[in-house]
Amino acid sequence: MSRATAATIHLGALRDNLRRVRELAPGSKVMAVVKADGYGHGLERVARALQGADAFGVAGIADGQRLRAAGISQRVVVLSGPDDPGDLAEMRRLRLESVIHHDAQVEWLAADVDPRPLKIWIKLDTGMHRLGFAPERARELHARLRDLPSVERDIGLLTHFANSDVFDDAMTTQQIERFERALTGVEGERSLSNSAGILGWPEAQAQWVRAGGALYGISVVAGKIGADFGFRPAMTLTTRLIAINRVRKGEHVGYAATFECPEDMNIGIAAIGYGDGYPRHADGGTPVLVNGTRANLVGRMSMDLITIDLRNHPGAKIGDPVVLWGRGLPVEEIAMHADTIGYELTCGVTRRVRFVEDES
């Protein structure tokens, strides 16, 4: 029999979350960001569930290849653009759009003799200081690229927020102002907002929003979960109890003997560990659901197993279900105990976990 650990992907939740994004940004088209294998949910299954999106955003050409092979016909934007001149031909073959963010890419386009124009987006660095051109170069670059025969004349324009999850932060206001000032008089559809931008900065929604974590029901806003904004979790990670041990007071549990039993107690062993993508640094006290009721982890995480305090679960038995995150237990809460964010947890689920699709 297969290992009990499974990630259930709720396709209905993905669709509901897309509808919620449209409610929050009613005047914008939605680019559904499906990079990192659909934030760990599975690129192809996510794209099929989100076929109501206006476009998909991916990190590299390989994701575009997978989407086209799966029969996805929507617009696909490669957010990091080409890595070398040879990528331009593949982008045209697959009808991919390209973000252009540094001068080498501009020169590749200038030297390109393919008569089929490529749809591009110019990225401006308004404060993230990761990818993008200086805002003061916007007009010059737009004019040059628009005149190239290798480029479609309808050029998109975008930037990326550094701190939009802090809704009263002056930095985002400054980024919006820099973007608008740099593009005064420049034609082209704009895109500024990521998921946090959609939630906290309605003035920045523009013609396009780029929804990532929100589509998966995940919040990156401190102290908030996706449900606080009307989103539903799209992944529930589960396993089962495979042993229940009676351990005496004063005995220790797990590697390095980090937990000492304060009394005689039942310890549940569940079939999941960091080999499945559960965070190794989740602290003692991290919650799980046993038969739908909360219990806490004790002891140090191992590769294949976790240990659970069952003192408040006297009826627990081998085979009972254990929820690690998802419905009934927000992934953001688990991320807080592991000193990370929910995005990292869903992206980190490993290949030995069985994925199950569910329409709810």
- 177 contacts: CB under 8 Å, gap ≥ 6: none
Asked if residue 238 lies in contact with residue 271, where contact means CB atoms within 8 angstroms, the answer is no
The Cα 105–Cα 342 span in angstroms is 33
* Nearest alpha-carbon partner for 83 in 58, 102, 65, 57: 102
Q: End-to-end distance of the chain based on CA atoms, in angstroms?
A: 26
- 10 contacts: CB under 8 Å, gap ≥ 6: 232, 233, 234, 235, 236, 327, 358, 359, 360
Written as one letter, the residue type at 72 is I
The Cα 293–Cα 4 span in angstroms is 19
278 a catalytic residue = no
**What is the β-pairing status of strands 306-309 and 265-270?**
antiparallel
The Cα 216–Cα 339 span in angstroms is 20
Helix (H) or strand (E) segment spanning residue 14: helix 11-24
The Cα 78–Cα 67 span in angstroms is 12
Q: Write out the DSSP string of 160-201.
A: --SSTTSTT-HHHHHHHHHHHHHTTT--S-EEEE-HHHHHH-
List 35, 39, 123, 343, catalytic entry: 35
List 39, 255, 274, 343, catalytic entry: 255
274 a catalytic residue = no
Token pair for 168: 């009263």
Compute and round to an integer the Cα radius of gyration of the chain. Answer: 23
Provide the phi-psi class of 141: left if phi over 0, else alpha when psi is between -120 and 50, else beta: alpha
Catalytic amino acids? 35, 255
